[in-house]
Structure 1
């Protein structure tokens, strides 16, 4: 597994590349990669850059030092005004919307703990690979808060409304095995193999037509809540894709019995 071809490296969020896949690592190990203000700012900047980086076709989100993300940084939870809290909460919401609606597929590689906002980041990803030693919890109510970073929407998308309500209200911890059983995670592998498994999935995404992936993510995030919306989304977006160079290339490659080369147009 090669992670050569550095795009950018910051202290608290590190980005490397494996071919067309960007690996984004949360890097705050002394606090188990807690979702601090600095990390939020760096992650939003990094993801925004990657979503507009032509050479990046898919993203793996992981954590340094065998831990995904322990949730919000308790040391930063001090008294503020309501307006200050609203401003601070906008950053994780911007990250959530970018992950869910952005044009690149995201695979979460979860090892160790994923608590609070860590669960939110995993849930907002398109695919979740969980290690056998992973531990998850929607831990917000334990510190007198309700879920944030888009978890109200993303958790029910993954596990259904009833199970999401249970996990949010009880803040009960669940294992990597349980995460797969209830549909939160797509795949479980042994500890130490998570990044390789996530990269394998991301490389599959990276080989897909970029424009189709981008429109599909938009549709899944915003355009299928009702029958009429689903039909309207199909009517509006499918003609665009049918006229794309990637679609023409796919059909031509099929007829010529060769691999397609997609460019995102």
Structure 2
């Protein structure tokens, strides 16, 4: 799917969504990998029962659904707009999403299904579902294609602990400390972060946890040199659900203040989004690149981000794999406050 994406009127979309074969028609394996609807084009008046059936189908079809907001919304569009996976404002934005989805349709389908059903899950259930989805995709063809094209660097031990931890009275500092790799989130970093967070969970005398990163970036996401190094997806799932920084952050979230700057990629935005307060430098940007690898966010982002910015914006961020600048992140609620970058 390249170039302009064909759109349906609201009425045409409702008719197709109500069809018994809708899950087959809008599917990454047997039909269209995306359904796009022009929300300003009604087509005809729609009955309440038709709209109710379409809403249910939007939750059930495997393919992502995208609403294109153009012009004023009629009755049908108003009834459906909150039920699409993503809502965009321009045809060019829709075209970019279409290209991303077509390149990795299984990952895109898995992502939106995970987000749809995540609205009714608690944090623990959401993290388990995310890990299972991630492991499923690790065994899939899209990740295999990415992995085959990725040149892995040599795995070398870090010259120092991957997380600096120190305490000032009732404040605990946890600083990601792999600046030479832009704080790429490695297994060693995950384990060290879990150790520090476990201390915070166990010690209620710690009133504040400051979560930060050394160097030019807060965190550039998962260490790509480690991708595909575990023996199998089942083991990867077991490790993710055993050593989960996301779970620990959620347990002490009300005491966590994240201080982010520069690149906040993958885990670098998924984890701080659990914090009760995210303070960002003006040079910070958020990015979820996992779909381009045939994966979904795997560090808790399908749980933490929707709680801050909602399901549709989370889906846009993950499906588009585009940078979200600091000001937009603040306006959306992903960052709580911005600070000027200090000179030097």
Is the structural similarity TM-score above 0.5?
yes
1:81–1:73 Cα change, 3 Å:
same
Change (3 A) 1:35 1:171: same
- Aligned twin of 2:180: 30
The 3 A distance-change label for structure 1 pair 85 and 53 is same
Deviation of 1:191 (Å): 1.6
Give 3-state SS (helix, strand or coil) of 1:129's partner.
strand
Instruction: Give the conservation status (yes or no) of the 8 Å contact 2:173–2:209.
Output: yes
Structure 2 residue 244 is matched with structure 1 residue 117: no
Q: Which has the larger radius of gyration?
A: 2
Residue 84 of structure 1: aligned partner? 235
Matched residue SS, 1:23: strand
Please name the residue that 1:62 is paired with: 212
Equivalent in the alignment of 2:258: 108
User: Which residue in the other structure is 1:187 paired with?
Assistant: 337
**Equivalences for residues 231-250 of structure 1 within 5 A:** none
TM-score with structure 1 setting the length: 0.65
Identify the residue that residue 310 of structure 2 maps to in structure 1.
160
Structure 1 contact 107–125 (Cα < 8 Å) conserved: yes
Report the Cα offset of residue 49 of structure 1.
1.1
Specify every segment of 5 or more residues in structure 2 that has no aligned partner in the other structure, as ranges. 1-159
Supply the distance in 2 between the matched residues of 1:166 and 1:91 (Cα, whole angstroms).
Answer: 29
Q: What secondary structure, in the 3-state scheme, does the structure 1 residue paired with 2:215 have? A: helix
Any residues of structure 2 matched to 1:1-265 within 5 Å, and which? 11-78=161-228, 80-91=231-242, 94-102=244-252, 105-192=255-342
Q: Aligned-residue CA RMSD in angstroms?
A: 1.9
1:30 Cα deviation from its structure 2 partner: 1.6
**Alignment gaps of 5+ in structure 1:** 1-9, 194-265
Q: What is the distance in 1 between the residues matched to 2:199 and 2:300?
A: 21
Aligned length: 183
Aligned to 1:5: none
* 8 Å contact kept, 2:262–2:281: yes
> CA contact under 8 A between 2:200 and 2:252: conserved in structure 1?
no
> How many angstroms apart in 1 are the aligned matches of 2:318 and 2:274?
16
In the TM superposition, what is the alpha-carbon distance from 1:174 to its structure 2 partner? 1.0
Is the 1:12–1:39 contact (alpha carbons within 8 Å) kept by the matching residues of 2?
yes
